[in-house]
Amino acid sequence: MPIANPWGDLDALRQEIDRTFRTFWSDRGSQHWRVAFLPGHGARQYPLVNLSEDEGNLYVEALAPGVDPKSLDLSVLQGTLTIKGEKSGLAQVTADAYHRNERAAGRFTRTIELPVQVDAGKVQADYRNGLLLVTISKSEAAKPKQIQVNVAG
């Protein structure tokens, strides 16, 4: 039964404000892409992920263009999902040949805490057009249960 979410509009507004600030501070947003691979950058977040859910599954969508699918390594452990991989750089381009160099490359590891209990045995991952979609099945305990009402008499 769908219920209208009164906080939906408010949430949309909050996200819009967040976005405005993010783009203001990070200068057009695209700077993130480079910073993400700097060595020793403690707060790096690569790849960026969106998390969504439905009744039976949890979906993690990661923004990872140019990653060789063979280099991707995913693991689910104790309520966390770890994504490892490598975005390959350009070989044989000398520094003085560049007009612009805004993209970055390198190895990455990111661990995401999952908000619900999941079944580690039922994980599926698809890589398409630079987006990684991981579908994780929720554990039976985390799924909503339909309860039958018995009518007496």
Partner 1 sequence: MAEKTVASVQAETAARREETRAQERYITPPVDIFETKDGLTVIADLPGVEQHALDVRVVDGVLTLHGKTNHIAPGTPIAQEYELLNFYRQFELPEAVDADRISAQLKHGILSLHLPKKEKAMPRQIEVQVS
Nearer to partner 1, 8 or 153 (CB): 8
Distance CA 63, CA 34 (A): 14
What's the CA angle centered on 69, arms 67 and 72, to 5 degrees? 85
Give the number of other Cβ atoms within 10 Å of residue 129's Cβ.
Answer: 5
Instruction: Figure out which of the listed residues 17, 24, 45, 71 binds partner 1, where binding follows CB under 8 A.
Output: 45
- 24 near partner 1, rule: CB under 8 A: no
Q: Are 82 and 74 within 8 A, CB to CB?
A: yes
CB of 11 to partner 1, least distance (A): 9
- 70 near partner 1, rule: CB under 8 A: no
Burial class (CB in 10 A: 0-12, 13-18, 19+), 60: buried
The number of residues that bind partner 1 (CB under 8 A) is: 42
Q: Which residues bind partner 1 (CB under 8 A)?
A: 15, 19, 28-30, 33-34, 45, 48-54, 57-59, 61, 63-69, 90, 93, 97-104, 115, 127, 129-131, 133
